[in-house]
Structure formats: structure tokens, C-alpha cells
């Protein structure tokens, strides 16, 4: 055997060992994540079995102008980005171009923000995600217990499609704060995308433990929508809307599902209710122009078919 042949064999052996070591390390890391996820989910089920959440309900007759989200609010809903901001995204989490993504919430207590977190949030809202992440990370390094910094890092990861990184952070937060519904919502969104069947099992367990939490049936509805099981999606959007009547987005998505199963009259009823609610003062990410456009399209179609 020549020296060159021996060297090739040695290099091949070393490479195989390196790849094997890398795969084993990756498997161990995945096992660690799966074990943590299983523990957190079990703890969540136990937590919601013990705790009764009283969710706020708002009647249709009541104006919610005073409920407008202000800079001092405890949470800020993510809205659809502008075209310019959309170009800065590496990945979109929406199930389709027409349905509203109700799956990601950004929690921020910014009544007395630290400078870094305030700057990070500004960068985030402007679509500068890498800059936002760097600022959140810097804030986290200064204060490891700061949930806003952790959550900000996770949300940016999720927006950019780094699901594993985002999930790890959400799990770490939920391990200590199972009551945080915004973190729970985002975590559930990730597993509903990466493993929808497993997510349905998890969501069913959580819903059984806490039947009054609207985000659970809403996530299930989103999964069934991705599976193109629109009738099941309607069932769960309806359940979510009953639990949280403030979220017009659930009703809007349900109306779109009615369009998809060719029940335009039901969709039109819901679109009209949405317009009435917005006129009554409800705050929502649903655009009036989108609702009126869909309503007009359905009305014109019915008029044409009736001719």
C-alpha cells in the first residue's frame, strides 16, 4: 500500500468519524429539545388544569375605542408589514396570501423600557430585523431575566424562519412562565407549522385542560386551513370567536373559509358584521378595504348568477 493511499484512507476515516460525531451531537441536541418540549407541554397542561383564566369579553353593542392599543399597552399585535418591510423578510409565516396571520404576537411592556429594548422594538417595527435582534440580544446579555429581551429575540427568529432557535427560547420562557399566553401562542404556531399532526394532539390536550383560551382553537383552525380541511377550520374559528369576541380577525378568517367551501351567503353575512363592528369602534388589523372588496366581489357574483 502506497503512502498516498494510506493518507487517503486515514483522511476518509477521520472524515467519517467527524460526520458521525456531528450527527450524534445533533441527535443528542434534538433529544434534549424534544425532552424539554414534552416536559413544558405536560407542565402547561397541569398549569391550565389548576388555573381558571377569566378572559375579557366585549359585547357588540359596546364601543371599544377606549381599548385602542397605545404605546403603554402591555402587548402589541403584529400587523401586516408594508411591501418595503416584506422585502426585508426571509420567510413569511402566513398560511396563504389572503388569510390573516393571527399566529404571532409580540409582547412588550414598554411603559418604562430600557433604551436597548425600546430601540430594538423601533428597529423591529421598521423591518430592520437583524438590527432588532442584535439590540434584543445585547439587552438579554445585560439582564438574563428580562423576558422582553428573550421574547424579542424569539419573535425575530420566528419572523425570519429560524424556527428551531425561536422554539428553544419560547420553551425556556414557558418553563418558568407557563401563564404567558403570548409566548404560548407563538410556540404553538411553530409546532403547528413544523409538525401539524403532533400539534393537534398537543392543542387538544391543552384545550381539554383550559377550554376558555381562544388561541387554542384558533391555532387548530389555522392547522386545518393549511390541511385544506376548511369545514373543520370553520368549526374552530367559530369556537375561537365565541371565546374572544374582540378578535375580529377570527371572524374574517372564518368568512374566507366559507368562500372556499362555496357558501358565499354565509361569508357575506360575516363580512357585513365585521364592517358594523369596525364602524362601532372595534380595533382590528382587518382592513376595511379588504372586507368591502370581498363583499363587492361576492355581491356582484350573486347578481350575475341571478340574471
Q: pLDDT of 269-291, one tens digit each?
A: 999 999 999 999 988 999 999 99
Domain for residue 182, yes or no?
yes
Q: Judge if 278 and 242 occupy the same domain.
A: yes
Domain for residue 209, yes or no?
yes
Q: What is the DSSP letter of 74?
A: S
Q: What is the pLDDT of residue 109?
A: 43
Instruction: Choose between 5 and 137: higher pLDDT.
Output: 137
Q: What is the pLDDT of residues 64-74, one digit of tens each?
A: 333 332 233 33
Q: Judge if 146 and 239 occupy the same domain.
A: no
CB 178, CB 209: distance < 8 Å: no
Q: 170 is in which domain, residue-wise?
A: 112-194
Q: Judge if 272 and 291 occupy the same domain.
A: yes
Number of domains observed in the structure of the chain? 2
Q: What is the pLDDT of residues 97-120, one digit of tens each?
A: 466 554 555 544 433 346 888 899
Domain for residue 262, yes or no?
yes
End residue of a domain, out of 146, 176, 194: 194
Could you tell me how far CA 205 lies from the centroid of its own chain?
Answer: 19
CB 251, CB 241: distance < 8 Å: yes
User: What CATH number does residue 177 fall under?
Assistant: 1.25.40.10
Q: What is the DSSP letter of 76?
A: E
Q: Give the integer Cα–Cα distance in Å for 108 and 128.
A: 17
Instruction: Choose between 7 and 91: higher pLDDT.
Output: 7
Q: What is the pLDDT of residues 221-252, one digit of tens each?
A: 999 999 999 999 999 999 999 999 889 999 99
Q: Judge if 212 and 176 occupy the same domain.
A: no
Amino acid at each position: 500500500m502506497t503512502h498516498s493511499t494510506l493518507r487517503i484512507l486515514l483522511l476518509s476515516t477521520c472524515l467519517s468519524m467527524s460526520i458521525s460525531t456531528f450527527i450524534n451531537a445533533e441527535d443528542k441536541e434534538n433529544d434534549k429539545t424534544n425532552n424539554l418540549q414534552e416536559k413544558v407541554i405536560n407542565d402547561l397542561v397541569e398549569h391550565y388544569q389548576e388555573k381558571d383564566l377569566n378572559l375579557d369579553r366585549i359585547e357588540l353593542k359596546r364601543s371599544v375605542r377606549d381599548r385602542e392599543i397605545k404605546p403603554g399597552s402591555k402587548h402589541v399585535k403584529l400587523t401586516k408589514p408594508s411591501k418595503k418591510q416584506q422585502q426585508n423578510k426571509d420567510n413569511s409565516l402566513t398560511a396563504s396570501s389572503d388569510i390573516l396571520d393571527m399566529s404571532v404576537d409580540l409582547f412588550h411592556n414598554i411603559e418604562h423600557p430600557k433604551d436597548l429594548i425600546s430601540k430594538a422594538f423601533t428597529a423591529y417595527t421598521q423591518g430592520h430585523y437583524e438590527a432588532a435582534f442584535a439590540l434584543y440580544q445585547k439587552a438579554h446579555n445585560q439582564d438574563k431575566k428580562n423576558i422582553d429581551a428573550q421574547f424579542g429575540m424569539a419573535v425575530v427568529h420566528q419572523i425570519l424562519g429560524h424556527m428551531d432557535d425561536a422554539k428553544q427560547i419560547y420553551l425556556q420562557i414557558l418553563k418558568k412562565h407557563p401563564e404567558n399566553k403570548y409566548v404560548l401562542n407563538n410556540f404553538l404556531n411553530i409546532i403547528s407549522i413544523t409538525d401539524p399532526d403532533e400539534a393537534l394532539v398537543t392543542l387538544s390536550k391543552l384545550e381539554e385542560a383550559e377550554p376558555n383560551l381562544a388561541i387554542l382553537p384558533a391555532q387548530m383552525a389555522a392547522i386545518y386551513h393549511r390541511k385544506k380541511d376548511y369545514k373543520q377550520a370553520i368549526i374552530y374559528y367559530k369556537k375561537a370567536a365565541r371565546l374572544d369576541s374582540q378578535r375580529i380577525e377570527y371572524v374574517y378568517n372564518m368568512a374566507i373559509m366559507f368562500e372556499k367551501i362555496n357558501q358565499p351567503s354565509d361569508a357575506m353575512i360575516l363580512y357585513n358584521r365585521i364592517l358594523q363592528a369596525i364602524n362601532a369602534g372595534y380595533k382590528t388589523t382587518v382592513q376595511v378595504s379588504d372586507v368591502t372588496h370581498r363583499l363587492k366581489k361576492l355581491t356582484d357574483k350573486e347578481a350575475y348568477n341571478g340574471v
